[in-house]
């Protein structure tokens, strides 16, 4: 095998590795966004069902697996920004609500 063929093979291998890395990263980000959307929807539905209040989600935090892998959803009531809520969602248990709190109206 001459030098030019070796260079081409090495370049193709490097390009394949780069494309695989980009694809895996894109897939990870997409899955994470879907998880956040589902957790937010579960939190919104829970507050709507329990308190009959429409809420706006402002922050979604995904905790690492060693912290239980929970998703924390925070926000406020649509008609009262001072009335904040907090919901803990478990992805492992099909986006079930593990705990929640809604501030009392002032």
Q: What is the overall mean pLDDT for the chain?
A: 91
Is residue 95 within 8 Å of 42, Cβ to Cβ? yes
Rounded to whole angstroms, the Cα distance separating 12 from 19 reads 10
What's the predicted TM-score (pTM) here?
Answer: 0.79
The answer to whether 46 and 38 have CB atoms below 8 angstroms apart is no
The reported pLDDT for the residue numbered 1 is: 63
Which of these, 60, 8, 2, 74, lies nearest to 32 by C-alpha position? 60
Q: Is the pLDDT of residue 5 over 80?
A: yes
33-73 confidence digits (pLDDT tens): 999 999 999 999 999 999 999 999 999 999 887 777 899 99
- Pick from 94, 73, 95: which is nearest to 84 by CA? 73
Q: Output the pLDDT for position 92.
A: 87
Q: How far apart are the first and last CA of the chain?
A: 80
């Amino acid at each position: 095998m001459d030098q030019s063929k070796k260079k081409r093979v090495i370049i193709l291998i490097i390009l394949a590795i780069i494309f695989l890395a980009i694809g895996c990263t894109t897939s990870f980000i997409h899955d994470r966004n879907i998880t956040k959307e589902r957790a937010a929807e579960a939190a919104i539905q829970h507050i709507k069902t329990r308190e009959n209040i429409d809420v706006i989600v402002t922050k979604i935090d995904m905790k690492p697996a060693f912290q239980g892998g929970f998703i924390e959803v925070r926000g406020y009531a649509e008609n009262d920004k001072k009335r904040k809520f907090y919901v803990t969602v478990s992805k492992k248990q099909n986006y079930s609500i593990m705990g929640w709190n809604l501030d009392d109206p002032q």
